[in-house]
Structure 1
Amino acid sequence: MSKEGASKQCQDSGRELNKGVHLKRSLGYFDSVCFVIGSIVGAGIFVSPAGVLKYSQLNVGVALCIWAASGVLSMMCSLCYAELGSALPYTGGEYFHVNRGLGSLPAFIFIWTLTLFIRPASNAARALTFAEYVTKPFYSGCPVPDLLKKIIAIGILWVLGIINTMSVKISTWVQNIFTVLKMMALSLIVIAGLVLLGTDKGNSENFKDAFIGQVPNAVQIAESFYQGLYAFSGWNYLNYLAEEIKHPSKNIPHTVFTSITAVIVFYLLVNISYLTVLSPREIVSSAAVSVTWADRTIPTVAWIIPVSVAVSIFGSLNGGIFMLGRLNYAGSKEGHLPSIISMIHVQYLTPAPAMIVSIIIASIFVIPSDLLSLTNYFSFCFWLLIGLTTVSLIVLRYREPNLHRPYKVFLPIAYGVVAVTLFLVIAPIVQSPKVEYFYALLFMLSSLIVYFPFVYFKLRLPYFDKITCFLQLFLEVSPTNIYEDCKDQ
């Protein structure tokens, strides 16, 4: 068949398949709250308390303040995102808003860094951690074989990838169930700790003169802050599914207030419970604080906590996979990724090609797991992107003053977020300059090699249209309709 014939066949098939093909607004308020909480609550709250206390110089009062400050910063950032999401409820989250506010080039650098490194590496790390906790009971006292962990990690990535590809409803159901289970586990820790605190005055020893002790310096506070913020990561996922939320103008702000507030309260109470049972030195020396707490508090059923950690990681991984598929989908719709990635499965109405691409990249990261150590040096990139998103909000306030904004954040909050993100970008490089930071920056700038020929000058590769057509027919996917009206449906 000639190139023209193949192109015509593909276009005709696309027209036939494209009838009513777009993402559906199927997520309600409860689904959205479960998605955010489920994405945030992963392994962080079970392991980060040790890091926060360590860099706080075992100062209990400072450590609890760091947890509260991490929650407040996450809330401030979420409120900025709530304005953008409710005003522009389209799939793509931060990427879409940076593209709208700052232009195509910053958005392309954004999506290049996120989709090729940060997000796939994060999902791979979660999958490996899940495999570690699942297999640990079968290797008591022995290290789990790396090969087994990698096989399980890749398997769970593909299981969740298939679920998210086949049905938004099923993936939402999985997220809701696992969010409820992990909150029940945190409730167990909170209630047990409060009961012990209220029944035995000796358990309050760690809270007496909480601020007496060595005061950490600025560098140590920054390190402690990073540990706390790690446990809150996932707060920014909501805007990636804005195009699928019912009544986004109301549900997005309400979801932010509910979910972030709930996480802050639970995280503070869980840390109080840990400190009720364990001393600061015991917490710092523990590889998994929650497991040590369970061995001391509920030894007969201590297995509940490792299982709960695995459940938490599973739910957080599901949210990460769901989000990354939407990011790839949005980037393709804007012309920054191959067009096949922006297509929707005609039966399942999910971004199947985008999901498949994200799972393949994450699986690659699992194989040479040494690559995951580099993710620590990309933390400044993550906060740089958050800062750019908040700058986009400020730019749009002045450039598009008539844009309908159902919710408007107090503008000084946005300026405060920009200032904090600037500090979090510069701090790790200044306090511990390493060549890996240069590699991370070089990776971001390498996007220019792709951007100018293929996006700016729209260079077309030979046979690329034929490959796209073949994949479209093979995967039974179709180009989507134009963006739906952002009015509530």
Structure 2
Amino acid sequence: MRFWTAVGLSNWQATNLIFVMAQPSKKCLLQQDVHLKRDVTLLGGVSVIVGSMIGSGIFISPVGVLKNVGSVGASLVVWMVCGLVAVCGSLTYAELGTMIPKSGAEYPYLKEAFGPIPAFLFAWTSSLVIKPSAVAIIGLVFGEYLIHPFFPDCKPVPLLVIKLASACCITLVCFLNCYSLKIAARAQIVFTTAKLLALFVVIACGIFALTQGLTDNLESGFSGDVHWSTVGTAFYQGLWAYDGWNQLNYVTEELKNPSVNLPRAIMIGIPLVTIVYLLTNIAYLAGLSVTEMMISRAVAVTFGNKFLGAFAWFIPLGVAISTFGGANGYSITGPRIIFSAARHGHMPEILATVSYKRYTPVAAILFQTFIALLVLIPNDFDTLVNYFSFSMWIFHGGSALALLVLRRTQPDRHRPYKVPIFIPILVVLIALYLIIFPIASQPAWEYMYATLFILSGLLFYIPFVHLNLRFTFMKPFTTFVQQLFLVAPLSQYYDIKDT
């Protein structure tokens, strides 16, 4: 190591050189060659969007939407409007993603338009809380529904068993994503197909219920009073189920032909999810009474027990498959935020490394998985959803505003896809509503906690990013982790001549 650094190579370059000299290829990794491979096809991109969106939400959130809005008809309107919001948001992100073809979604967009501080606060919030906690919540739902059939006479199911199953789910998707993005993307296609099949079974049962004349809920859909004070919270519940509409932007650098496939995947995936969600909610409302829905913890399971008889086990299995695919989707996309932030110096440099054999951001994936396992603690679902939605819509609105700013400051920049200007304006207005209205109509502590946590990122930004404070033990630690996991920074191959 000392010889190589003595001839002018940095520690990282010397480490990369030593790695590759030990390989028979006789190629050397210097700064700029290990890279992210474009392994995600159009079908893979659609599956990332659909697979990330259809997770645990559609099996749980319908009850939350109905409770908060108070009317069957209004709840269906909320689901439809949430789909339109997802379309508008994703079209806005399509322009940003094709104009700034970098992984990390909101991070590079905020950095380009507003500078490093908003981008860092997004990376701080998303990497440490939102994405890992979302993986943990989805993992818990997976564990509960996978284990439940094995304990039919045990209520409640032992919490430790659920946690172990959840940890296995999270660890397995971590392994898949570390091993190969191509395999993870193919697995996402399989799980997306399986979860759509489960929802189609629910929809088919709903159609059967309608043919049997079970239309009371739908006929009297708008007879109840709409709870206007909690409509914003109802949107939080619905948008949680739609969360994932921007997930493909996190892997833009690994998407084949992103200027074409990113908009296409969005226009295929999100309308498909919206139609499936509306039909699923209609099926729930046809097959169950409002009272049955209100007291149900998992409306899909209650629905399955009523209509599938001996085959009711299919629904818990379908939910487990769906949530596994959702966790896999977040494990594909979430680490790319960490990777992108570390590449710009906003996180430890080891998190910006890539496996030089697998071409995956192993360190970032392991980091997110570690936090997800730490927060694998049951909590109130509604509170967590409200917290996530509030936090994320701050940054969704900021990204739409970034597009408007870049339209003004960089009007001549190449834009392979250009969204009509009224759409990002609408997204900004929707974000303002979703941030302000729930707080004004029904103040809750989680909104204050979310705001304080976001701002607390400044306590780390100032010393470690702005002042560039570094701990001396980080360099040997970085070298050790590189050698342990065979990872290196983005670099460029140079041939080594035989001596």
TM category (shorter chain) comes to over 0.9
Which segment drifts farther, 431-440 or 325-334?
431-440
SS in 1 for 2:214: helix
Letter in 1 for 2:301: V
Corresponding residue of 2:77: 65
Aligned residue number for residue 130 of structure 2: 118
> What is the deviation of 1:7?
7.6
> Do residues 76 (structure 1) and 88 (structure 2) align?
yes
Deviation at 1:20, TM superposition (A): 3.7
Aligned residue number for residue 25 of structure 2: none
2:251 alignment counterpart = 241
Which residue does the alignment assign to 2:431?
421
CA contact (8 A) 2:230 2:442 kept: no
Report the AA paired with residue 357 of structure 2.
Q
Do structure 1's residue 161 and structure 2's residue 168 form an aligned pair?
no
Match of residue 406, structure 1, among 416, 425, 447: 416
Distance 2:9 2:452 in 1: 38
Post-superposition Cα deviations, 1:167-215, rounded to whole Å, max 9, x if no partner, equal 1111111111000001111112222322442x33x2223222432x222
Is 1:439 aligned with 2:439?
no
Counterpart residue number, 1:37: 50
> Alpha-carbon deviation of 1:386?
0.7
Which runs of structure 2 are paired with 1:14-413 in the superposition (5 Å)?
Answer: 14-15=16-17, 16-18=28-30, 20-57=33-70, 59-140=71-152, 141-197=154-210, 199-200=211-212, 202-211=213-222, 213-366=223-376, 368-370=377-379, 376-413=386-423
Contact kept in structure 2, 1:203 and 1:276, CA below 8 Å: yes
Q: Secondary structure at the match of 2:472?
A: coil
Unaligned 5+ segments in structure 2 are 18-27, 493-499
Matches of 2:410 and 2:229 in 1, distance apart?
39
Among 478, 482, 486, which residue is 2:488 paired with?
478
SS in 2 for 1:479: strand
- If the length of structure 2 is used for normalisation, what is the TM-score? 0.91
Structure 1 unaligned residues grouped into runs of 5+: 483-489
C-alpha distance 228-435 of structure 1, shift in aligned 2 (>3 A): closer
SS at match of 2:448: helix
* Per-residue deviation, 1:473: 2.1
CA distance in 2, matches of 1:84, 1:310: 34
Q: 470-479 or 179-188, which moves further after superposition?
A: 470-479
Give the Cα separation in 2 of the matches to 1:90 and 1:290. 38
**TM-score normalised to structure 1 length:** 0.93
- Structure 1 residues 324 and 12: alpha-carbon distance in aligned structure 2, compared to 1, 3 A threshold: same
Counterpart code for 1:472: Q
**Alpha-carbon separation, structure 1, partners of 2:375 and 2:323:** 17
Write the distance in 2 (CA, Å) between the matches of 1:254 and 1:397.
Answer: 22
Q: Separation in 1 of the partners of 2:225 and 2:379?
A: 35
Give the secondary-structure state (helix, strand or coil) at the position aligned to 1:388: helix
Partner of 2:497: none
Rounded to whole Å, the distance in 2 between the matches of 1:240 and 1:161 is 17
* Structure 1 residue identity aligned to 2:486: E
Aligned partner of 1:485 in structure 2 is none
Would you say the 8 A contact 1:118–1:375 is kept in 2?
A: no
The code of the aligned residue for 2:252 comes to: A
The sequence identity of aligned pairs, in percent, is 38
Q: CA deviation at 1:329?
A: 0.6
Alignment match of 1:11 (pick from 10, 13, 35): 13
> What secondary structure sits across from 1:191 in the alignment?
helix
Verify the 8 A CA contact 2:29 2:491 in the aligned structure 1.
no
Deviations 1:42-65 (A, max 9, x none): 1111121112222222x2221111
Q: Deviations over 1:70-113 (max 9, x none)?
A: 11111111110111112212111111111111110010111111
Q: Look up the SS of the partner of 2:468 in the other structure.
A: coil
Note the alpha carbon deviations across 1:267-298, whole angstroms, 9 max, x for none: 11111111221122222222221112112222
Judging changes above 3 Å, is the alpha-carbon distance between structure 1 residues 298 and 148 closer, same or farther for their aligned structure 2 residues?
closer
Alignment correspondent of 1:486: none
Aligned 8 A contact 2:12 2:488 in 1: no
Higher mean C-alpha deviation, range 113-122 or range 6-15: 6-15
CA distance in 2 between partners of 1:147 and 1:209 (Å): 43
Contact 1:133–1:309 under 8 Å retained in 2: yes
Give a deviation string over 1:4-39, Cα, whole Å, max 9, x none.
Answer: 669855422325234741001111111100111000
Q: Which amino acid aligns with 1:360?
A: F
- In structure 1, the partner of 2:20 is none
Q: How many angstroms does 1:374 deviate by?
A: 5.5
Shift of 1:440: 2.3
**Whole-Å separation in 2 of the counterparts to 1:298 and 1:154:** 30
Instruction: Give me the CA root mean square deviation.
Output: 2.1
**How big is the shift at 1:378?**
4.4
